[in-house]
A and B are shown apart, each in its own frame.
Chain A
Amino acid sequence: MSHRTVVVGASIGGVRTAQALRRGGYAGEVVLVDADSEPPYDRPPLSKAMLSKAMLLDGAEATPTLLTYEQAAASDIRLELGVAAHSLDVAAATVDLADGRRLAFDDVVLATGSAARPSPWGRPEGLHVLRSLADARALRADLRRGGRVVVVGAGFIGAEVASAATSLGLAVSVVDPLPVPMGRVVGDEVGRVFERLHQRNGVSTYFGSGVEDVRSLPGGLTVTLTDGTRLDADTVVVGIGASPNQRWLESSGLLLDDGVVCDEFCRAVGQPRVHVVGDLARWHHQRHAEWVRVEHWTNAVEQASCVAHNIDNPGALRACVPVEYVWSDQYDQKIQLAGRPWRGARWEMLGDPDVDPRFAVLWADEDGVLCGAMSVNWPKATVASRRALAAGGKLEAVRDGLAAARADAGAAAR
């Protein structure tokens, strides 16, 4: 009987694992399972391109498909869509599906990702979360109708929704219980850059107050903040983070701790045939010498490549040691974030966010080693930082290189 790999979850991590298996010459059977009945799609565009002014105004929808039925057939990937995985039996090497079928596997890839943290205020009409294609379609329909928008959560998703709604001319408010947006990631001083960005684009900001309640009243929704402020809204978007989809694994015996706990090869601890990619993996990151879980697109892509290699080459395993990298498009700004700024002991800013069209922030640990970087409209700064983060380079070396590049660019502009 031929070898079979079952991939559970057809988001970016699962799809890329299936494709990488084929590209690497894997000769076994590949089955890709997902609860969503849509052909596999990409998620970053759900809060970016799909909410862009051009797409909202003309009503066109470019679905961000990752894998069509034709492409799946051409790569000999069997799609099982619209059926959730119900449970995993590691000893028997089977996945039970919600429709009662049982899939036997030689290797299994767990890629069920994460789900938007649910709204603590229920789901009255007009209140949205944004995680799936269906969520994005529902939000688009409401934004096209116009009216007042309140975004709860000033992270990347919330900021992208605020940016999209603003571009349509809607009145937008952003609420976050943190005093400064993104403060936990970049610290309060750097986070104020994001606060000013919202304000410069006409968004009303309510930071440092939580949401007490969201009520549906005749004529719309009312959001009541903990400080008593009441905001009337036609559309409310709740973007307060995500949590891993691991409930279906509770009976599996796998070690779960905010994700599936894995070794450095992204295999569930003690289970060499159980691989995990994307938001669901809490794996041992060798460079950081600790277990981490990362919810970024690029992380899932790099893990997929690593896991596919490990399935096909169990005698020559490859450890997964990516550099954290995530981007966000807000207003006219391309924001790129690499590494782990929150681990920084100090930081330096190159350029002035209030004056310069592009600037960067670098964070270093106690030894002066670069541990995080953020750039705005300056992708080259991110490239230099990602290289240094992978190599353990010093903040000063990156800073000096970028300062020289800025001076050259300035001279060329004159």
Chain B
Amino acid sequence: MPTVKADHEACQGYANCVIAADDVFDIDDDGVVVLLRGEVAEEDRDRVADAANSCPVSALRLDDA
């Protein structure tokens, strides 16, 4: 299954990922991304990839595993 990786240092709290896939991404009170799960089902790949790509500072990656 594809896995999601987040660069917590790079994250700026823009939260486009949360808007695009709130079953995978959230942000905490300081505006830093929280991964709700690390693995993504194959059928969610495109949607989660879109969410990761909507990050303005490229802090998110979807890796094949």
Inside 8 A of A287's CB, which chain B residues have their CB?
Answer: none
Inside 8 A of A298's CB, which chain B residues have their CB?
Answer: 16, 54, 56
For window 37-65 of chain B, which residues contact chain A by CB distance below 8 Å? 46, 49-50, 53-54, 56
- Chain A, residues 386-414, CB within 8 Å of chain B (1/0): the string is 11001000000000000000000100000
Judge if B4 is at the interface, Cβ distance under 8 Å. no
Inside 8 A of B56's CB, which chain A residues have their CB?
Answer: 42, 44, 297-298, 327
For window 11-48 of chain A, which residues contact chain B by CB distance below 8 Å? 16, 19-20, 23-24, 42, 44
Judge if B29 is at the interface, Cβ distance under 8 Å. yes
* Among candidates B15, B19, B29, residue contacting A409 with C-beta atoms closer than 8 Å: B29
In this complex, how many residues of chain A approach chain B with their Cβ under 8 Å: the count is: 28
For window 282-326 of chain A, which residues contact chain B by CB distance below 8 Å? 297-298, 301-302, 305, 323, 325
Look across to chain A and name the residue whose beta carbon is closest to the beta carbon of B58: A42
Look across to chain B and name the residue whose beta carbon is closest to the beta carbon of A24: B46
- Chain A, residues 310-350, CB within 8 Å of chain B (1/0): the string is 00000000000001010101000010100000000000000
For window 2-40 of chain B, which residues contact chain A by CB distance below 8 Å? 12-16, 18-19, 27, 29, 31
Cα distance A379–B30 in the bound complex, in angstroms: 8
Cα distance A302–B29 in the bound complex, in angstroms: 26
- Closest Cβ–Cβ distance, residue A77 to chain B (whole Å): 15
Inside 8 A of B18's CB, which chain A residues have their CB?
Answer: 383
Look across to chain A and name the residue whose beta carbon is closest to the beta carbon of B33: A379
Look across to chain B and name the residue whose beta carbon is closest to the beta carbon of A329: B12
Interface range on chain B: under 10, 10 to 19, 20 to 34, or 35 or more?
10 to 19
Is B19 in contact with A387, judged by CB distance below 8 angstroms? yes
Inside 8 A of B19's CB, which chain A residues have their CB?
Answer: 323, 383, 386-387, 390
Cα distance A325–B56 in the bound complex, in angstroms: 12
Is B54 in contact with A380, judged by CB distance below 8 angstroms? no
Is B12 in contact with A383, judged by CB distance below 8 angstroms? no
Cα distance A305–B27 in the bound complex, in angstroms: 23
Is B53 in contact with A301, judged by CB distance below 8 angstroms? yes
Cα distance A75–B53 in the bound complex, in angstroms: 15
Is B31 in contact with A334, judged by CB distance below 8 angstroms? yes
Is B31 in contact with A380, judged by CB distance below 8 angstroms? yes
* Among candidates B13, B15, B53, residue contacting A16 with C-beta atoms closer than 8 Å: B53
Inside 8 A of A5's CB, which chain B residues have their CB?
Answer: none
Is B49 in contact with A334, judged by CB distance below 8 angstroms? no
Inside 8 A of A390's CB, which chain B residues have their CB?
Answer: 19
For window 43-60 of chain A, which residues contact chain B by CB distance below 8 Å? 44
Cα distance A382–B50 in the bound complex, in angstroms: 20
- Closest Cβ–Cβ distance, residue B41 to chain A (whole Å): 17
Is A327 in contact with B53, judged by CB distance below 8 angstroms? no
Cα distance A325–B49 in the bound complex, in angstroms: 20
Inside 8 A of A44's CB, which chain B residues have their CB?
Answer: 56
Inside 8 A of A329's CB, which chain B residues have their CB?
Answer: 12
Look across to chain B and name the residue whose beta carbon is closest to the beta carbon of A12: B56
Inside 8 A of B16's CB, which chain A residues have their CB?
Answer: 298, 301, 325
Cα distance A382–B56 in the bound complex, in angstroms: 16
Known: A334-B13, A387-B19. A379 touches B27 (CB 8 A): yes
Is B15 in contact with A382, judged by CB distance below 8 angstroms? yes
Look across to chain A and name the residue whose beta carbon is closest to the beta carbon of B46: A23
10 contacts between A and B (CB under 8 A): A16-B53, A23-B49, A301-B53, A302-B54, A323-B19, A327-B56, A378-B31, A379-B14, A390-B19, A409-B29
Q: What is A's interface to B at a CB cutoff of 8 Å?
A: 16, 19-20, 23-24, 42, 44, 297-298, 301-302, 305, 323, 325, 327, 329, 334, 336, 377-380, 382-383, 386-387, 390, 409
Query: Lowest 4 A-B CB distances belong to which pairs?
Result: A379-B13, A379-B31, A383-B15, A379-B15
Q: What is B's interface to A at a CB cutoff of 8 Å?
A: 12-16, 18-19, 27, 29, 31, 46, 49-50, 53-54, 56
Given contacts A336-B14, A378-B31, 13 further A-B contacts (CB under 8 A): A20-B50, A23-B49, A42-B56, A297-B56, A298-B54, A301-B53, A301-B54, A325-B16, A379-B15, A380-B27, A380-B31, A382-B15, A409-B29
